[in-house]
Each structure stands twice: as C-alpha cells, then as structure tokens.
C-alpha cells in the first residue's frame, strides 16, 4: 500500500519535506543523526499518522559514500515516523543506489529527477524533452522491477517552462507504469501564481484522474508560498516544503508557514468541505523544530521570520501592549505555545517600562518611571541598538530604586 497516494486520493495533505536534501543546496549540511532526529520530529507533528502526512527526503545518495550512509541511517532509524525518500538522477546506476539506500524501510520511496523542458533536457540528458520523458517511463518500470516494495516517484524538472500537454501524457504513462507521484517543479522559481495554477490544472486534465501530482516550487521571486497555495487550489495534495525554507538559492516555501496556514484556514484555502488531515498538525511543535534546524545549520531565526522568528509574540510599544490581539493574526501562546514577551526599546511607553521593570523585580513610582523611560530611549540611540538588554536595565534600576540607609546623627545613640 502506498500511504501517500492513499492520503492524496482522500484529499489529505502530504508534506514532502526537503530541508535535508534540497536544503543542502543552501550550503548547509545535516549529519545522519540529525536527519534521523528531524525526520522523527517532523512525523510527530502528525502523531501516529506521520507516515501518511510526511515524506522526508533524506538526501541524494550518489553525492558520496557519507551521503549514502546518512540516507540509509534515516531509512533504518526513522522508519515508521515518516515515509523516507532517496532522490536520484535519471540514470540506472543512480536509481539502483537510491533503492539500496532505503530498501527494507516501511513507506520507503525514491524520487527520480527527469527534465521536462527542452532546455533542461538538453543540458541534463542531451535529448529532447519528449525523449527524456519517455526515458522517465522506463525508469519507473526499472524501479518497480528492481524493488516493487519501494514506491517510485518522478520529479519533472523545469516543468514551469515545459509543454503541459506533453507533461500530462507523460504523467499518465508514468502512473500506468507504476509511479506513485509525479511532482512538477518550478526549478528556477520564476512562475507567477496565475501561471502556476494554470500549469497544474492543465497537466492534471491531460494526465487523468489516476495520476497523483505534487508540487516542488522555488522561491526566487518570493512566490514559493503563493504558488504552492495555487497548486493546492488546483487540487494538488502533495506539496514540497522545507523547514525555514531551506533550499537552493532563495529557497522554497517554509514548512512551518505552510502548516500553520493550512491548519488555520483549510476551508478558505482548500474548499469548504476540505478534510486535509488524518491527524491535525500539532502547531506547538513548529517553533522548537525550527530552532533545532537553525542550531544545526547555522541559519538564523530573524525578528521577521514568519511563525517561528524571534519577533513572534514580542511587544515593545504602548497600544499593542494594552490590546495585543489587535496587532497579530493569531494568539502565539494559544496556537504555537509561544508566550508573549515585553521588550524595552526606544519605542517604549510608560506602561512598557513599568511592565519590564516589574518582570525584573522593581516597582516604580511615577517619577521613577519617567526617569527610566528617558534613560531607555537615550540608551537605545546612544548605542545604536533598539533592544535594551535585561541585564543593563536591571543594573540601571538597581541604582534608580536603591535608597541609601539614613546616616545616624552624632550622639543619636546616647
């Protein structure tokens, strides 16, 4: 049984997680042990239904021996948490190697990259697009003959610049040969949303109802998320993403953004009767996974990183302090488990100063509050840093609120 095809056919969303594979092209490297940990944590977002909601692309075994071993480690040690996939080029030797890397693992898959456009086919395999796609059908048959227990998927590279009718016919033939999924890739991230939606609709119509399409859309124009939503609107239910958006060049849609949007707005994004989950994602797991990936890869979480960034749940000005619900699209504490934090900056109001002081153990009167407010604003501009560290403010408050003991007058104890 192909759990991914079953899920997509039932209208459930499957995330094809690329941070360990395409994420390596963002100049990052995850150890085999970390890939296992990340695969398990990604699956736990969906509880026992991890294998039905997550395909974890563990790597590209042909890179080197160490990469093969890392993929193999994930296939063995993350079995049952997710579906584990090895990715390869469209060569028989690479295909056999990818199959060997995941063989024996439950829900194992291989994804073969096949060029779909004339330009990409000429560069990758020195053949026409039509010939390259026919070769893709043969690769599916070869994979099924080599190991019928491993699902085989095809990723059509540069689909955004390819002929949709040609791709539709190829997707139908690949599916008939035994392919589980056919992913359409905007390899260079150049599509506009309307173009993307049209591509998926046209390929789906030409491929017929048996073909299960997936998306693999890059973010070079900042449209990876918008284009993925277009693919979903066109009926696609297998969508590629990566934690923190890690992928080649400008990356791709971030897993944490995609899951939060789909979990909170399924009707608006997928239709009023949508049932996208076997088990709904636990959104409180998203921030710790993102921090884990940032620590492993050295890719920082910034103030403006959506969903998991350091600015989520922070307050530094007056009106948001009094009415935080007016200034955020959801409650970070309720949805993500991120508790609100009040930070002291040059934008602070008297309420903000008093709240930070109280957190640090100081109760200020009106005059002290005014003095502390002036000090905080002056310090921010003097140092060129907006946020005043707690330690610095605490030291200032110690001096501000300390009242020296009275000095006894001479002879007072006589």
Total residue length of the chain: 414
H-helix or E-strand spanning residue 291? helix 286-297
Cα three-residue angle 59-65-69, rounded to 5 degrees = 55
Residue tagged 């953004």 (tokens): 257
Locate 31 and state its tokens. Answer: 């150890």
Output the tens digit of pLDDT for each of the chain's 414 residues: 899 999 999 999 999 999 999 999 999 999 999 999 999 999 999 999 999 999 999 999 999 999 999 999 999 999 999 999 999 999 999 999 999 999 999 999 999 999 999 999 999 999 999 999 999 999 999 999 999 999 999 999 999 999 999 999 999 999 999 999 999 999 999 999 999 999 999 999 999 999 999 999 999 999 999 999 999 999 999 999 999 999 999 999 999 999 999 999 999 999 999 999 999 999 999 999 999 999 999 999 999 999 999 999 998 888 788 888 888 899 999 999 999 999 999 999 999 999 999 999 999 999 999 999 999 999 999 999 999 999 999 999 999 987 554 455 555 444
Sketch out the chain's domains with CATH numbers: 3-297 (3.20.20.70), 314-401 (no CATH)
Residue tagged 């990758």 (tokens): 124
pTM, 2 dp: 0.92
Q: How far apart, in whole angstroms, are the C-alpha atoms of residue 143 and residue 94?
A: 11
């Amino acid at each position: 049984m192909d759990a991914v095809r079953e899920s997509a056919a039932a209208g459930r969303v499957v995330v094809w997680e690329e941070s360990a594979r395409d994420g390596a092209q963002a100049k990052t490297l995850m150890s085999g042990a970390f890939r296992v940990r990340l695969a398990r944590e990604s699956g736990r977002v969906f509880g026992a239904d991890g294998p039905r909601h997550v395909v974890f692309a563990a790597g590209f075994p042909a890179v080197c021996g160490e990469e093969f071993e890392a993929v193999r480690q994930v296939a063995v040690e993350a079995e049952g948490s997710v579906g584990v996939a090895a990715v390869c080029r469209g060569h028989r030797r690479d295909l056999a190697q990818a199959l060997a890397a995941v063989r024996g693992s439950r829900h194992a898959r291989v994804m073969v990259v096949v060029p779909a456009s004339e330009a990409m086919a000429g560069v990758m395999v020195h053949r026409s697009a039509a010939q390259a796609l026919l070769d893709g059908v043969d690769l599916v048959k070869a994979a099924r003959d080599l190991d019928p227990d491993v699902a085989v998927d095809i990723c059509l590279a540069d689909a955004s610049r390819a002929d949709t009718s040609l791709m539709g016919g190829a997707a139908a033939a690949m599916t008939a040969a035994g392919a589980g999924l056919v992913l359409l890739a905007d390899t260079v991230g150049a599509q506009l949303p309307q173009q993307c939606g049209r591509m998926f609709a046209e390929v789906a119509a030409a491929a017929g109802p048996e073909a299960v399409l997936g998306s693999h859309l890059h973010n070079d124009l900042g449209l990876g998320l918008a284009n993925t939503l277009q693919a979903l609107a066109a009926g696609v239910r297998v969508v590629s993403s990566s934690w923190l958006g890690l992928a080649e060049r400008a990356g791709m849609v971030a897993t944490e953004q995609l899951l939060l949007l789909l979990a909170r707005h399924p009707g608006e994004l997928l239709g009023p009767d949508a049932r996208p989950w076997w088990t709904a994602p636990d959104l409180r797991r998203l921030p710790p996974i993102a921090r884990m990936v940032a620590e492993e890869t050295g890719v920082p979480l910034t103030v403006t990183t959506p969903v998991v960034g350091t600015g989520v749940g922070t307050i530094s000005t007056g009106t948001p302090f009094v009415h935080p619900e007016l200034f955020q699209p959801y409650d970070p504490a309720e949805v993500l488990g991120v508790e609100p934090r009040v930070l002291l900056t040059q934008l602070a109001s008297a309420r903000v100063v008093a709240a930070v002081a109280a957190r640090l153990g100081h109760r200020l009167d009106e005059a002290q509050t005014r003095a502390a407010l002036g000090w905080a604003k002056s310090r921010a501009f003097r140092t060129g840093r907006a946020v005043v560290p707690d330690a610095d403010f605490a030291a200032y408050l110690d001096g501000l609120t300390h009242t020296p003991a009275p000095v006894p007058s001479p002879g007072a104890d006589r």
